[in-house]
Homo-oligomer: A and B are copies of this chain.
Amino acid sequence: MALIVQKFGGTSVGSTDKIKTVAQRVLKNHRQGNRMVVVLSAMSGETDRLTGLALAMQHIPDQREMDMLLATGEQVTVSLFAMAVKEMGGDAVSLLGDQVAIHTDNMHTKARIYSIDPDLINKHLEQGKIVVIAGFQGVTDSGDITTLGRGGSDTTAVALAAAMRADACEIFTDVEGVYTTDPNVCPQARKIDYISYDEMLELASLGAKVLDIRSVGLAKRFSVPVHVRSTFSENIGTWVVEEDKIMESMLVSGITYSKNEARITIKQVPDQPGIAAKVFLPISDAGILVDMIIQNTTDGRLTDMTFTVLRRDYDRAMELLKKVAADIGAQAVSGDESIAKVSIVGVGMRNHPGIASTMFQILAKEGVNMMMVSTSEIKVSCIIAEKYTELAVRALHDAFALDKDNLPVEEAE
């Protein structure tokens, strides 16, 4: 008798009819002999509605009160879901974050879970009930309601699966699973059957939206097998598991792209110790995240510094940098919002250092110029002009044969 945690997002429970459909599916799994724990998000649109009310009250809503307000969204869904199960002749009980209890720190609107007590859930499971838990929410030691921020319900589901040593954590979404790349850009994109935590972490951080990166990190830490699959079909989706559970790893598992970044260059900066700090301190003080940084020394005394920030921070960053440039005697600050980051990810490239240069060759052949490059053990990211994004993704998908198994070929030594 397997213990399965299933999480359904806002779109999957966006109406009373959709809640019934999901309830039917969960009940079917339950009647097949599984013990079922269900994690639900707020009905789609509800969080926006509540946020609108909050903004009508307070310019910048108080974060504790915001959590108090937003937590009602999931509370509505779980109670309706339990009713639906009961109407279908099953038994279910809804539980809130503080009832479970999902203990978090007190960082309101982006709290982190530090413990979950599985006793109450187990008690209800032993009575044959489907346990329906409000995602996205927890409680501090002093009894205040917290929310977990973006992707919070995924995190709730994985944390519960970890705490309860569940056999699987199934994340239901509106796609069939994790794809080798965005099927909208590349029709040859293929659903991935198995992917390692590390690859999924890279894909999530590089722009794949199917699974929140925090929940992947948590799944990795507690070895929770995660199954990403569709709410709207019975098909097997993508299993995110430990690397050694995957028989053979692909050379390249997935290709992602992101158009959320912008590039800034400070030209002719005096190449002295402490200059980099002078450039980046005001940026980080303003809460602006810097992703890639490169520095080219043009001659012995002067250097160009280039880095990327999120596009939404671009204007603020440019403004700050212009002041800094004047202070440190740099020649000029230039920027470019029309860039994209294209990345290839795969654990198979660990032992194949040639992958990066293969990527460069493929892009060169298409006439795509690379502005910046960054690499990790299992990924290579290139900054290119935004207009080449789709071309680059398709060319890489094709050249690395992601539409087929692209197992690493042992190279001649």
Contacts and interface: CB of A to CB of B under 8 A. Distances in A.
A78 interface: yes
Interface stretch (A52-60, A225-233, A297-305): A52-60
Interface in A51-107: 53-54, 56-59, 61-62, 64-66, 68-69, 71-72, 75-76, 78-84, 86-87, 93-94, 96, 98-99
A65 to B, nearest CB: 4
A187 interface: no
Contacts of A80: 53-54, 57, 65, 69
A82 B61 CA distance: 10
A131 to B, nearest CB: 13
A295 interface: no
A62 B83 contact: yes
A19 interface: yes
A52 to B, nearest CB: 9
Contact of A87 (B19, B57, B81, B99): B57
A20 interface: yes
Interface residues of A, number: 38
Contacts of A78: 68
A71 B68 CA distance: 12
19 contacts: A16-B56, A16-B57, A50-B76, A54-B83, A57-B81, A58-B83, A58-B84, A58-B86, A59-B87, A65-B80, A65-B86, A65-B94, A66-B83, A68-B75, A68-B79, A68-B82, A68-B96, A72-B76, A120-B143
